[in-house]
Amino acid sequence: MNFVYKAEAFTQEELDYEYKEVITTFYKRVKILLHYQNMALSNPTHIKRLLLFFLGFMKKKLRT
Amino acid sequence: MNDIIFINPPYEQIAPGNDHVKHVINRSPSLGLLLLAAQARKDGYSPKIIESDLENLSPQTVANMVLEINPKFVGITLFTVGVFNAAIIAKLIKEKNPNIVIMVGGPHISSMGFETMQKFENFDIAALYEGELILNKLLSSIENNDPLEEVQGIVYRDENNTLRRTPPPPSIKDLDSLPIPAWDLLPNFPKAYLPAIFDYPRAPVATYSASRGCPFKCEFCDTSTFGTKIRYNSSKKVHEIMKHLSLEYGIKHLQFVDDLFVANNAKVLELCELLITDKVDMTWSCTARVDTVKPDTLKKMKEAGCWEISFGLESGSDEMLKNMKKSITAEVSARAVNWTSEAGIRVKGLFMLGYPGETKESVKVTKEFIKSLPLTTMNLSKFTPYPGSQFIKSYTEHLLEKKIGIDLTV
Ligand code: B12
């Protein structure tokens, strides 16, 4: 991650935490998750890429 | 045999063990290199393009490929994030074959060309600003042994190894005169070059820029390559390129990567009319500012195939927007996002976290703002100061003094 500037009001950990918070605020909502599920199902390249991603992820999990 | 090789150096620093991420991130090629390769071919050269990350190549492998082909020239494109790997490639090439002329260009060079040449002795010539005409003049000057001081827009080493900088060239006024990007040089194009997952409705996908430049003065943005005066392709040319991509490569979606695609509503409407009357089977996405879009234009854009617009919304806090010199307010942002969504176009909101002045309160305001908008995608970056931005010009000393930034100047 390009971490080269830290706003004065935050520690680096706090900023990392807020980063995750803002992302989840948006993406962890039913209507957004449904939207992406529909998108994935409507496009073969999305499905293929997601599968490859999850396969790689599972391999990593099994290794560690 | 290739006499000039263009290289996009490895950038992505995916943490070890996380290779699976490669399947979902952006895999589009450098449009700059496609245009430069097309220009070189027009000038009689036989170019090759190496996309290091997309072909999974290390600096060593890239250098070996170059040494094997043994071209006269190498041209490396540079975002700031690619400088160190590019320097490694140049060193490995020069160690084995010092006769290959290594040129660098791109956004990092447009803003830090001189300093980069000072730091990295294996780069022979740096080309600042937009590169097509500079490349044309530079190659012919080297071939004919003409003095390099006559080539505008470069930094070079003279016979005493002293760095010399030539004055900037005039910007390219007639974008239609530029060659069509050399997509045919990319191995396995378009199949192997998808943008990030969910960034397109249909594949295959290509990128194109229908204008250059942006007059706005957002403090974090680097406009040193294309400048502040906007120049446009004619709508006819853009329509022709879209037809070409559709007929030659079966492209189904086009991403316009202009600094600011919706700068002039009349221009956009003209292109939309062409796309409505002479249909191309292609959807497209583009960039706009929240204060440049209008409801009627948005409706026409939808009719002409527009799928998604990216807006730099940055923050929900007016105080933060002011700090960034964005010259918009959250209210104007919300209005534009709603108009776009009502027109049936998806909205990607680009946000930034941790700009100077950011507080826990302003982050809270941004979170609420994000939830209140009909966005379909949200991208968040932690603020990173880049050379060429007004921020760096104003604050570098302050950053280094306080040791809260790393030195990005090389
Ligand atoms: C599309 C895009 C992307 C795509 C890249 C796709 C790709 N493979 O190129 C994606 C989304 C991946 C991306 C990511 C990032 N991007 Co970006 N991106 C752009 C954008 C909007 C368009 C690029 C483009 O195609 N331009 C059109 C072509 C024709 O221009 P060009 O590539 O600059 O090439 C011309 C000249 O530079 C010159 N030239 C270039 N190379 C060479 C080489 C030689 C030898 C010569 C002679 C000339 C020359 O000639 C070319 C033709 O005129 C630009 C803004 C802009 N308008 O340029 C930002 C921009 C390049 N991105 C920027 C940044 C900061 C990033 C990120 C670091 C963001 C982040 N925090 O993660 C990442 C890093 C990328 C990475 N690989 O890790 C900054 C770069 C600033 C800097 N100093 O490095 C820019 C300028 C935005 C800005 N205004 O601040 N980006």
pLDDT digits (tens, 9 = 90+) for B290-318: 999 999 999 999 999 999 999 999 999 99
Asked whether the beta carbons of residue A2 and residue B351 sit closer than 8 angstroms, the reply is no
Q: Where are the domains of chain B?
A: 4-165, 194-397
For chain A, the residue count is: 64
Residue B397 pLDDT: 57
What does the buried/exposed string (b/e) look like for B135-156 if buried means 16 or more CB atoms within 10 Å of the residue's CB? bbbbbebbeeeeebeebbbbbb
The beta strand positions in B15-100, using DSSP E, are 47-51, 73-77
Q: Which residues line ligand 1 (CB under 6 A)?
A: A 2; B 11-12, 26, 28-32, 35-36, 75, 77, 79-81, 103-108, 111, 127, 130-132, 134-135, 209, 221-223, 225-226, 257, 259, 381, 384, 386-388
Separation CA B233–CA B239 (nearest Å): 10
Q: What is the mean pLDDT of residues B364-390?
A: 92
Rounded distance between C-alpha atoms, residue B395 and residue B76, angstroms: 29
pTM for this prediction: 0.94
Distance CA B106, CA B386 (A): 13
Q: At what angle do helices A12-27 and A30-42 cross, to 10 degrees?
A: 70
For residue B16, give Cα distances in angstroms to A2, B53, B276, B408.
16, 15, 48, 23
Architecture of domain B4-165: 3-Layer(aba) Sandwich (3.40)
Please give the pLDDT value at position A11: 86
Question: What class has domain B194-397?
Answer: alpha beta
Of A15, A46, A55, the CB nearest to B353: A15
CA distance B187 to B51: 10
Q: Residue B255 Cα, ligand 1 centroid: separation in angstroms?
A: 14
The chain-wide mean pLDDT, for chain B, equals 93
Q: Are strands B163-165 and B125-127 parallel, antiparallel or unpaired?
A: unpaired
Q: Identical fold at B4-165 and B194-397?
A: no
Provide the token pair at B237: 């040319």
Whole-number pLDDT of residue B350: 97
Residue pLDDT, tens place only, B227-236: 999 999 999 9
Q: How buried is residue A36: exposed, middle or buried, by Cβ count under 10 Å (0-12/13-18/19+)?
A: middle
* Cβ partners under 8 Å of residue A27, min gap 6: A33, B378
How far off is chain B from A25, nearest CA to CA, in Å?
A: 7
Q: Report the distance separating Cα B180 and Cα B192, nearest Å.
A: 20
Q: How close, in Å, is residue A38 to chain B by CA atoms?
A: 11
Q: What does the alpha-carbon distance between residue B291 and residue B284 come to, in Å, rounded to a whole number?
A: 21
Torsion angle (degrees, nearest 10) of CA A8, A12, A15, A20: 170
**pLDDT digits 0-9 by tens, B83-104:** 999 999 999 999 999 999 999 9
Banded pLDDT at B18 (limits 50, 70, 90): confident
Contact between B272 and B224 under an 8 Å Cβ cutoff? The reply is: no
